[in-house]
Structure formats: C-alpha cells, structure tokens
Amino acid sequence: MNASHPPGPGHPQGPGHSSGPTGPARPGSGLPDPSERPARLTVGVVGAGRVGPALAASLQLAGHRPVAVSGVSDASVRRAGEMLPDVPIVTPAEVLQRADLVLLTVPDDALPGLVEGLVETGAVRPGQLLVHTSGRYGVEVLAPALRAGGLPLALHPAMTFTGTAVDVQRLAGCSFGVTAPEELRLAAEALVIEMGGEPEWIEESARPLYHAALALGANHLVTLVAESMDLLRQAGVSAPDRMLGPLLGAALDNALRSGDAALTGPVARGDAGTVAAHVSELRKHAPQTVAGYLAMARATADRALAHGLLKPELAEDLLGVLANGADGEGR
C-alpha cells in the first residue's frame, strides 16, 4: 500500500468527504455490500482481547479480509472464534507473515515489549501497516517497527468494549484518537472512517493527557455508579439501576451540553449541613467510599466557586465540613 494514500480506491480523503463509501456497509445502511467489492487489505490481530476482534470484524464489513489472529487465554480464543469465525489462530509472528494490516491490541504495558520482540525476530515487513489501539501511546512506541520499514499508526477508539458483536455496532460514530506520521494521516483517517468512526487528531505529546481524560470520565464513572447502586441497596432500594438510569442519563446529557453550568446538588448549593450528614452516613455504612466522596465534593466545590454557582459566603462552611471529614471528625 502506498503510504501517502488512504487504503482502497475511491475512499474518502478524510472527515466530511462525501464521495464513495464512508464506513462499513451495515444492514439498512444503503451502502454497497462489501462482499461485492474485492478485499483491499489482509488483516491480522495480535492480542484477541475485547478490542482487536471487534475492529477486525468492522474492517471486514468494510471489505477487508481478516486472515489471522493470535490469542493465548481460553477466553481470547473463544472470543476470536465468535467474532472472527474461520479465521485461523496462530502465533503473533505468523499473524505478521499473513497480514498487510496488523492490529496490535494488547495491554498498554505489554505493547513496547511486543513491538521490540516482533522487530528482533524479523517479523515486521517493509510497507506493512502496524496499528496499535493504546490510548496512552502515540507512534513513538512503534519506532522499532518504523526502522524495520513498517508503517506506524495509533488508532484508539474512545469506547468501552464488551467482547461481543455489539461492539461493532457501537463503533458507528465512535471517536478515535488518531496519531500518525503526516504522510500516513490520510490512511489513518480513512481506516477509522471505514470502521464507522470519527477521527480526532491527537499530537504525540498529548497522548498521555488525552488518555487520562478518558479514564477520568469513563472508568471512574463505572466505579461511581457501582458504588451508588451498592449504597441504594443498603438503603432498601430494590431496583437501583432503574432508579439511577433516568437520573444519570439526564445528568450526563446536561453535563455534555452545558458543562459546569449543569452542576446541581448540595455541594453546588453550599448546603454544608447536608454534606456533613452524607459524610457521617457514609462513614457508618460504607467507609471505603468516604475518601472518594470528599475528593469529588471538593472538586465540585472548586468548579462551582470558579463559575459563580457557589456563593463564597456559603463555601467557607462547606469547605470546613470537607476538611473535617477528611480528618475523620465529621461536622
């Protein structure tokens, strides 16, 4: 593949280009059936976790051809069989032998060692596209492969994955954090669009901050919701998920639309007595949640103050409660 052109003839040149197919052909999409188009790239997956098989399946819908996948655990082998039926499971080196486009979908900490090992064994071929999906890294982690003639791309889907077929559907409209050499930028954007995603360019130096932002929002959200459901069960609520669903859905929608202006609740109002009661109850029934509550309450108070939502005269008592709560004293 020519590094300076997107994969496949007639493919869009980037976001917003309307000529030609702009994503995987899915039922009811009105796009050509990919089975009627010749496969453009052979695709391999190194690391059959939750992400790799979903991306390969999405690329298959766009007309590419998965040819090999590597997996070690029973779960990864089973997942590969379900998501990529009839695709052989082989060693990582064999994946690179068979594929033009290789998805390196291993945990962040394992990625540098994997790349170095593949290069040292001579598995990387000149002109071969090597795509990792780590949010933390840009393309610098693929520097050994670049020196061996590989074409490095960092395509991180900003999505949580289940390891099931639903993940392919969720990629439609999903943003991807894209980092690539300038001469591969069009190719990177085209691959994302073919998977149904929206490319968002992230500079190499900004990758750790970008990933921290996503983890702060998505990963911590799961923890917050799980803790909230646990507390509601203790309070006697039989269906905490049903109670929280509309509330959290509205809160998320308001936050995305209005940012800090959507802040509500006792902290934003400066209700120090209510916050003190919360801390007291949490300390009695769920002491493991106190530190998280206090940290988020302090962050909320800071943002509410900065945006004029929390009156300074009320903030003093509130911040005192939070300080005393951190010392274990309560109100």
Report the pLDDT value the prediction gives residue 328, as an integer from 0 to 100.
61
Tell me: pLDDT of 185 over 90: yes
How far CA 91 is from CA of 4, 38, 47, 96, 261, in Å, comes to: 30, 27, 10, 9, 52
Q: Are 217 and 284 members of one domain? A: yes
76 and 190 part of one domain: yes
- Domain-located, residue 7: no
| Domain end residue (candidates: 157, 175, 202) | 202
Tell me, yes or no, whether 17 lies in a domain.
no
Residues 174 and 50 in one domain: yes
pLDDT digits (tens, 9 = 90+) for 269-326: 999 999 999 999 999 999 999 999 999 999 999 999 999 999 999 999 999 999 987 7
pLDDT at 37: 41
Buried-state track 84-107, b at ≥16 Cβ within 10 A, e below 16:
beebebbebebbbeebbbbbbbbe
pLDDT at 9: 33
Q: Using the predicted structure, report yes or no on whether residue 96 has a pLDDT greater than 50.
A: yes
Same structural domain for residues 137 and 266?
no
Residues 228 and 131 in one domain: no
How much of the chain, in percent, has pLDDT values that exceed 70? 86
Residue 324: exposure state from Cβ atoms within 10 A (0-12, 13-18, ≥19)? middle
pLDDT at residue 40, as a whole number: 87
Q: What is the pLDDT of residues 103-154, one digit of tens each?
A: 999 999 999 999 999 999 999 999 999 999 999 999 999 999 999 999 999 9
In a domain, 4, yes or no: no
For residue 235, give the 3-state DSSP assignment.
coil
Q: Is residue 27 part of a domain?
A: no
Quickly list H helices, 158-265. Answer: 166-170, 185-194, 207-214, 220-234, 240-258
Same domain (yes/no): 139, 39: yes
- The domain spanning residue 172 has which CATH number? 3.40.50.720
164 in any annotated domain: yes
Tell me the pLDDT of the chain averaged across its residues: 88
Among 202, 222, 243, identify where a domain stops. Answer: 202
Domain boundary among 202, 235, 257: 202
**Number of domains, the chain:** 2
pLDDT of residue 288: 96
Whether 183 and 303 share a structural domain: no
Residues 112 and 47 in one domain: yes
Q: What is the mean pLDDT of residues 165-181?
A: 96
pLDDT in tens, 55-93: 999 999 999 999 999 988 889 899 999 999 999 999 999
Nearest alpha-carbon partner for 44 in 111, 115, 104: 104
Residues 215 and 194 in one domain: no
Q: Would you state the pLDDT for residue 241?
A: 97
Does residue 302 sit within a domain? yes
Provide the domain limits for residue 300: 209-326
Q: CA-CA distance, 316 to 69, in Å (whole number)?
A: 59
Q: Based on the domain organization, do 156 and 225 belong to the same domain? A: no
Q: Cα–Cα–Cα angle for 248, 253, 257, nearest 5°?
A: 145
In a domain? residue 215: yes
